Amino acid sequence: MSSRFREEGGNKFEICTKDTTLAMVIASDWKIVLIDDEDDIREVLAIALQDAGYQVETAADGAAGIRLCEKFCPQIIITDIRMPGIDGLEVLKTVKQNYPDTEVIVATAFGEMDLAIRALQLDASDFITKPISNEALHLALKRARARFTSRKQLQDYTTLLEKEKAETGQELLKNIAFQRNLIESSMDGILGCDENDKVVTYNRSMEKILGFTKAETLQKMDLGQFFKAGEKKRFKAELSNDSYGGKNRLSLYETSLLEKSGRETPVQISATLLFEQDRKHGLVCFIRDLREIRKLEQEVADQAHILHQDKMMSLGRLAASVVHEINNPLSGILNYLRLMGRILRQGPLAEERQEKFQRYLDLVDNETTRCSQIVSSLLSFARISPPAFGQVQIDELLNRCILLSRHKLELSNIRFESSIPTNLPPVEGDFNQLQQCVINLIFNAIDAMPDGGTLNLDCRHDSDRNKVIVVVKDSGRGVPHEDLPQIFEPFYTTKKEGYGVGLGLSTVYGIIERHKGSITVESRPGEGAAFIIELPCLAA
């Protein structure tokens, strides 16, 4: 199979241009609605899907995507999570409520695993991360097709049984075999019990989840043996009330089941009681393995820990320079207060002495305000707070970064130059995280100029693309050409041992990606380096 590459908006896609006839025929039967607010990503993904033989319709926002679903009736929806107006999670909820058989694949940015996990909990079939690779895209589509086909076969079979009865014993045997095959091929675990909670149905997926074989479970094990002490009672209580999906039904109920080894496995259960002539006839459970989701949740926690660790390292370096910076104004304040006290002790204030006293008082006020601003900015940077996206004024953010790092630059014999317009449009983001990015880049620049130099911090508005561009440029030793492709990778560092673990730039990259922006570097050995951040402006 040959392929060609296309690059749009910083994302590189491999687009199939020749595929097997069978794959094209299969794909041509599938309709996909693609929802993304970025034109370049939407265009390139649509080309990739159409080249693979899918029927594709696109929408630029969630509301338009939902309307398109009503008209186009797709089997699969691919939606970005972060969009203006109706976001991807709301699209997922609406689609699952109105078209429960439709499979939804969500696309997330770097570091948004918490949203991906929430999407899976809402019954998304899969998630893919940006930048989207061709391999990940088609693997997610393959899984979505498998889930859709399995569910459709079960529905068709149920409809068949409801409409007509098997007329011969042979037909009945065929139907039973078909039903058994459907149960066995289900991607979710299926566990059925009789009225006494004895296991009567146990498919291959259950064997993979818990490790027990059919021979060990069928007609031998009780439902309670899969739960830890007291959990079966709670499960039955929730099943009988209206908390999860209605009386005698459970929907997306999370608990743990015991593996054969005795370990607990986190699962999500949808269950219903079976009745025959108003008498309980049994119970069927559809069980989804949550181990991968829990693994993703741990990765989210680890990312948050790394982000906080990186901030604490920056805070330590800032605190050392801030102590020096506020020492001088405090000394000045003390001297002026002593002079003012001496003036007062000399008796009533003549007009000339009143002017001198007022001048000293103004100087004390200015220096105290300066110390207060420095300490307040440091405390704000150090504060632990959950991510909070809102309107951010970039000029205010950059000026606060300058206030915190100016004395560090002076101590390092670095001349500082800046060009920051005051009429920049706002961006949407987390002020604290974006501030951490700029502080990290300033510290990297300081480390690149051990013998002093010049640091430029410039900002401008690209009105054609409606983006704010921030450039942090140093006159240091530069980045070797062979290191440029890996410079944003975690734990990759060009510093000497003991001078860094290589998390700063990867943290910056992750934060900027989360803000739907981009960061690039331009550098030549011996000519310094320029780190360029581009952030989309807040929509009017």
- Dihedrals phi, psi of 155, to nearest 5 degrees: -65, -45
What is the pLDDT, as a whole number, of residue 384? Answer: 52
In this model, does residue 77 exceed pLDDT 90? yes
CATH fold of 387-540? Heat Shock Protein 90 (3.30.565)
Name the token pair of 12. Answer: 């590189």
pTM: 0.41
Q: Quote the CA–CA distance of 32 and 25 in Å, as a whole number.
A: 15
- Cα 229 to Cα 217, 239, 353, 363: the distances in Å are 19, 17, 85, 72
What does the pLDDT look like over 237-260, one tens digit per residue?
A: 888 877 666 678 887 788 889 998
> What DSSP assignment string belongs to 348-366?
SPPHHHHHHHHHHHHHHHH
pLDDT band (50, 70, 90) for residue 382: low
pLDDT band (50, 70, 90) for residue 204: confident
In this model, does residue 236 exceed pLDDT 50? yes
In this model, does residue 329 exceed pLDDT 80? no
What does the pLDDT look like over 483-498, one tens digit per residue?
A: 777 777 654 454 443 3
Q: What CATH class is the domain 3-154?
A: alpha beta
Q: Name 363's Cβ contacts closer than 8 Å, sequence gap at least 6.
A: 332, 336
What does the pLDDT look like over 22-51, one tens digit per residue?
A: 344 456 689 999 999 888 888 888 988 988
> What does pLDDT average to over the chain?
78
pLDDT band (50, 70, 90) for residue 170: low
- For the four alpha carbons of 362, 367, 371 and 377, in that order, the dihedral sign comes to positive
Pairing mode of beta strands 529-536, 518-523: antiparallel
What is the pLDDT, as a whole number, of residue 394? Answer: 92
Query: Among 94-98, 370-374, 401-405, 522-526, which range has the highest average pLDDT?
Result: 94-98
What is the pLDDT, as a whole number, of residue 425? Answer: 92
What is the pLDDT, as a whole number, of residue 74? Answer: 93
Q: Which helix (H) or strand (E) holds 432?
A: helix 431-448
Q: What CATH class is the domain 188-289?
A: alpha beta
What does the pLDDT look like over 281-327, one tens digit per residue?
A: 788 888 888 887 777 666 655 555 555 555 566 556 566 556 655 66
